[in-house]
Structure 1
């Protein structure tokens, strides 16, 4: 799996800063004048986000089933946590950045972490005998945080495609960082890249913060999986939460997009609070069982037509929601190719 993900990320780092591929399709939906139609742009951003979400979701179900938790219970718990967490990605970003069409995974992560204990308590309060076996807070959070690292890391390819969440121009960084990243910097092209229309930095070498973040988080996810498969749930819990949130705090110093005011951004504060909150949950929870996740059992449990259909529907929903561009447009001319008649 590591080799496949490495190849996928390497492809994205090389291909996505360019202009080609940002828009996958333009669908004409309203005639403007003559032969011209206004188009709805379908973006590579939506495709890459959908890929990341489905990969992380599939891994979540596999790992939960590998701990002996039935798929319907895993789905119910995930729904309870994510239904309020996903909209918060937009609400919090709007509050921090003051823009209508923006998202933040930091907001969704913090909301999900905050609600997870209540969701677990709610399930157990309904029927403790039904929901209690294997459904303990720290093991479940270790699985969710591991999957979050993969989803967030792979999702950074979408940021490269759109040109958002960008780093500082290389010449603004300390000299000790300029030389090592001179050949690895991102150079964006295309007037509808966010970094171009917001900053005017077309053709400017940029610190590849999205690539560094992707590698840090995917590596953290791989470490979390190793610990889960080895039965070391506390190590999986601490590694994925502290690396993901610690890097979120540190990475802000290399970014140059809108992060809100203050010496510390709201996202840095939320990451710090998430780390402290996770520590409190661990201290107050029962010691997690030292039981290794059985991936084969997870595959046998989830790899069926129902599970595959669920992932396909999820991919389609995310793609249609995230792939419809709200900040770019297109003008389409339709005509007949006479030479083809």
Structure 2
């Protein structure tokens, strides 16, 4: 019953958030969250640093994924110390990879790619777990390592990733990136399919406007579809995980997310490299095949009972709360400072209110 209540409440909150985001976030005012004055020019104007809603929603999504990951793993009896070390190590790989791979593929320094980050994370995650298991003396009362099970950890990781990227698509909508093709330029069956289901973006500083000139155009709502599919996959994966089907949860979330990543590339209008089959499609297929091999290589998950109450108890720990808050702050600082938009600020006194 606790599982059903948890999954049900989570589903309602997520889909309400996605519905709100699809309606509100394409508007112009939902790109820049705040602007910080940096230095004054000779005309009395200040050069500003834009903090974006992209960063806010990315930080929210990353942090939600971390919370879900902590909840699932601790509920399965995995030591929280080892999980936190794994999270920091994985983010230390994935966050730089998001920028480095985007720069290699798209030849732009101000772009991030979740697909590239997922590919890098998929490659290193099993071996990070293996290395963490070699760290002795960090579990009270034990002198050996953490003995983290690779299948259980990867299962929780993929579920958390599906939640995170699903909600993270709200960030893409707010910035106008990761957008679909114009509906009127698609084949007739696609036009019919999306005749009443589309997104229209406004704002000259949104990526869809300055990169493709598609401001005000009806485009395929790739971000919304991705958010719905990934969130649904995550919810199904959560149920499988909580009932002990760890390998099934892992493969279900990986198949849905990576197959859709391959298919969705055919419906996107933003630049994805110079090839008909994009590097991101190759990376998605590679990640899926790699995880399947990892499942065969590492020992299967032991029979483990998942107690969600234990996970919630651990989340209320003060140091875990601080850890989660630090993740949010670091993520916002990394993703929320816009390098592709600028601002000029002019301050004045409202004399009528003196």
Shorter chain as denominator, the TM-score bin is: over 0.9
Residue by residue over 1:299-341, the C-alpha shift from the partner in whole angstroms, topping out at 9 and shown as x without a partner, is 1122221111111121112112211110111111110001110
Give the distance between the partners of 2:82 and 2:352, measured in 1 at CA: 60
Q: Is 1:232–2:248 an aligned residue pair?
A: no
SS at match of 1:121: helix
Instruction: Determine if contact 2:134/2:146 at 8 Å carries over to the other structure.
Output: no
The yes-or-no answer on 1:103 pairing with 2:103 is no
Corresponding position: 1:84 with 2:98 = no
Structure 2 partner of 1:192: 205
Aligned equivalents of 1:183, 1:18: Cα separation in 2:
18
Question: How far is the alpha carbon of 1:37 from its aligned partner?
Answer: 1.4
Tell me if structure 2 keeps the 8 A contact 1:232–1:291.
no
Deviations 1:217-258 (A, max 9, x none): 111111110101111112101101111111110110010111
Residue 132 (structure 1) shift? 4.4
5+ unaligned residues in a row in structure 2: which ranges? 1-9, 137-141
Of the structure 1 ranges 47-56 and 258-267, higher mean CA displacement relative to structure 2 is found in 258-267
1:204 matched to 2:213? The reply is no
User: Is 2:306 the counterpart of 1:293?
Assistant: yes
Structure 2 distance, partners of 1:130, 1:222, is 35
Q: Identify which range, 143-152 or 313-322, moves more after superposition.
A: 313-322
Q: Residue in 2 aligned with 1:326?
A: 339
- Give the counterpart of 1:3 among 4, 12, 32: 12
Q: Which residue of 2 aligns with 1:59?
A: 68
Task: Judge conservation of contact 1:168–1:207 (CA < 8 Å) in 2.
Answer: yes
Tell me the CA shift for residue 84 of structure 1.
1.9
CA distance in 2, matches of 1:315, 1:11: 22
Structure 1 residues 148 and 179: alpha-carbon distance in aligned structure 2, compared to 1, 3 A threshold: same
Of 131, 134, 142, 2:145 maps to 131
2:293 to 257, 275, 280: 280
Q: Secondary structure at the match of 2:252?
A: helix
Distance between the aligned counterparts of 1:30 and 1:307, measured in 2? Answer: 38
Q: 1:244 aligns with which of 252, 257, 260?
A: 257
Three-state SS of the structure 1 residue aligned to 2:224 is helix
Bigger shift: residues 108-117 or 282-291: 282-291
Give distance in 1, aligned partners of 2:95 and 2:45.
Answer: 37
Moved over 3 A (4+): 126-133
Is 1:170 equivalent to 2:183 in the alignment? yes
Q: What is the distance in 1 between the residues matched to 2:144 and 2:16?
A: 42
Find the residue that maps to 1:165 and give its secondary structure: coil
Structure 1 Cα separation of the partners of residues 102 and 247 of structure 2: 31
Q: Distance in 1 between matches of 2:316 and 2:297?
A: 35
Shift of 1:129: 6.0
Number of residue equivalences: 340
Q: State the TM-score, normalizing by the size of structure 2.
A: 0.93
Q: Secondary structure at the match of 2:28?
A: coil
- Secondary structure of the corresponding residue to residue 102 of structure 1: coil
Structure 1: gaps of 5 or more residues:
none
